[in-house]
Amino acid sequence: MSPLRVLIADDEEMARRRLRRLLAERDDVVVVAECASGDAALSVLETLDVDVAVLDVQMPGLSGLDLSQSAAELGVEVILATAHREHALAAYERGVIDYVLKPVEPDRLAVAIDRARTRVAKQHETIVTPTTAPLDRLAIPVNGDVRLFDPARVVFAMLVDALVRLRVDDDLVWTELSLQTLEARLAPYGLLRVHRRALLNLAYVDRLRPLSTGGYVAMTRHGDEVPVSRQEARRLRQRLGL
């Protein structure tokens, strides 16, 4: 089991020191960066491979709430560690995996890290190749019904908070099926894992917009924007001969 790569961002040195000490007690975590502002943390997230960001809410420049949204777009799980209770609802609405109050206690931080590890592990689950011929219909429960789609017409599937959003032709559909389940079912039809949170069918992509991170934003013919991580962008360039 590879260690979680963690970034710490807090403008208080004592708070960073405490987090670093608590995380150092775990053999499944490595702190890869430490920042004193949201702007510095964003720069790190755009250049380093980070699994989890532990962020203060109130920092110079970007706040932890602002940064959490950018982190999610980069496929990084976020834990907010703050003395302020009032931001919890806004944090969870942005997809933050946990909200830990200061002073951070070892057991409470351990719970948050374990939650993050579980989420990261699910994003990296090994896909089992089907031993039978793929079905020619994708079944998605929607509002009590089961809708059947042509899997070859799926443009993308993207994890948004706890649900997955799919585009199938002109339809946008939400499902509780996991991204890993969909990947196993849709891989035979050309959908590629391009991000921890996204699958994409290149047949529906009109252009790729480069990001400073080394990744892309894939623009589909329907006008959707799908993130492509730095690592997957490298593989994509090889596939496209770029």
Top pLDDT among 222 and 2 is at 222
Core vs surface per residue 147-159: b (16+ CB within 10 A) or e: eebebbbbbbbbb
Q: pLDDT digits over 56-69, tens only? A: 999 988 999 989 87
Determine phi and psi for 116, rounding to 5 degrees.
-65, -40
Cβ atoms of 178 and 166 closer than 8 Å: no
The residue type of 13 is: E
Among candidate residues 58, 61, 57, 69, the one with its CA nearest the CA of residue 100: 57
Q: Which domains does the chain have, with CATH numbers?
A: 4-123 (3.40.50.2300), 138-240 (2.40.50.1020)
| pLDDT for residue 77 is more than 70 | yes
Question: Token digits for 9?
Answer: 């961002």
Residue 174: pLDDT band by 50, 70, 90 thresholds?
A: very high
Closest CA to 114 of 79, 145, 90, 70: 79
* Main-chain phi, psi angles of 27, to 5 degrees: -90, 0
Average pLDDT score, the chain: 87
When pLDDT is averaged across residues 44-65 and rounded to a whole number, the result is 90
116 residue type, one letter: A
Q: With beta carbons less than 8 A apart as the criterion, state whether 175 and 163 touch.
A: yes
Cβ atoms of residues 210 and 242 within 8 Å: no
- What is residue 230's three-state secondary structure? helix
Q: Which helix (H) or strand (E) holds 159?
A: strand 154-160
In the chain, the percentage of residues whose pLDDT exceeds 70 is 93
What is the C-alpha separation between 56 and 63, in angstroms, rounded?
8
Statement: residue 132 has pLDDT above 70: no
What integer is the mean pLDDT of 194-219? 89
Confidence of residue 145 (pLDDT cuts 50, 70, 90): confident
pLDDT score of 166? 93
pLDDT at residue 129 is higher than 70: no
As a whole number, mean pLDDT of residues 39-45 equals 90
